[in-house]
């Protein structure tokens, strides 16, 4: 069931970083566990700005790339030094959660040197940060970092993923977000 439980967080982050999703194609598999719900899915996203994205989600693979293993936010999971998100763009690429930015320092070209910048971050417990921010919203009227509209937009994409996987057809989201 990683599409509803896990992918929604990835979609929320992707839409925050890249913008709204315009269309979705997806395939799911239930082969490993044989349950009624998927254990693996692959998704193609087309964003409204023309960017394309690929997302793999699987809760049966042994791999060091899950958010839980890379972000170190929960001590119950053994930490790895890997990244779980690789976001490539025309001006640079970013890997998360290590916050590594790759870019050409001078002229953008395959034949020019590429540089890397690692931005500092700490391992503050995100659940504490979330609780503090929620309290500030309730107590002080601070705007939430993620709105109900953001949550609905992510859920709309997840529903499109499920529909695309079921029908084998692309699902357009234009006007649904």
Q: What is the CATH number of domain 2-171?
A: 3.30.360.10
Model pLDDT, residue 93: 96
Model pLDDT, residue 31: 84
Model pLDDT, residue 127: 83
Model pLDDT, residue 174: 76
Model pLDDT, residue 176: 53
* pLDDT averaged over every residue in the chain: 92
pTM above the 0.85 mark? Answer: yes
Domain boundaries, the chain: 2-171
pLDDT category at 13 given cuts 50, 70, 90 is very high
Mean pLDDT of the 98-113 span: 93
At 34-85, the pLDDT tens digits run 888 888 999 999 999 999 999 999 988 899 998 888 888 888 889 999 999 9
Question: What are the Cα distances from residue 139, in Å, to 128, 132, 142, 147?
Answer: 16, 10, 8, 17
Q: Residue 162 and residue 167: Cα distance in Å, rounded?
A: 9
- Give 74 or 98, the one with higher predicted confidence: 98
Closest to 152 in 3D by CA, of 12, 10, 4, 5:
12
């Amino acid at each position: 069931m990683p599409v509803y439980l896990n992918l929604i967080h990835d979609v929320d982050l992707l839409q925050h970083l890249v913008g709204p999703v315009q269309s979705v194609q997806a395939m799911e598999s239930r082969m490993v566990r044989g349950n009624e719900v998927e254990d693996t899915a692959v998704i193609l996203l087309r964003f409204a700005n023309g960017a394309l994205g690929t997302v793999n989600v699987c809760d049966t693979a042994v791999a060091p790339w899950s958010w839980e293993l890379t972000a170190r936010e929960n001590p119950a999971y053994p930490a790895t030094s890997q990244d779980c998100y690789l976001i490539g763009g025309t001006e640079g690429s970013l890997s998360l959660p290590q916050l590594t930015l790759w870019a050409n320092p001078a002229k953008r070209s395959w034949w020019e040197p590429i540089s890397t910048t690692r931005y500092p971050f700490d391992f503050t417990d995100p659940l504490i940060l979330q609780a503090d921010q929620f309290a500030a919203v309730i107590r002080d009227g601070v705007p939430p970092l993620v709105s109900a509209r953001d949550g609905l937009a992510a859920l709309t994409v997840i529903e499109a993923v499920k529909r695309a996987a079921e029908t084998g057809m692309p699902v357009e989201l234009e006007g649904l977000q």
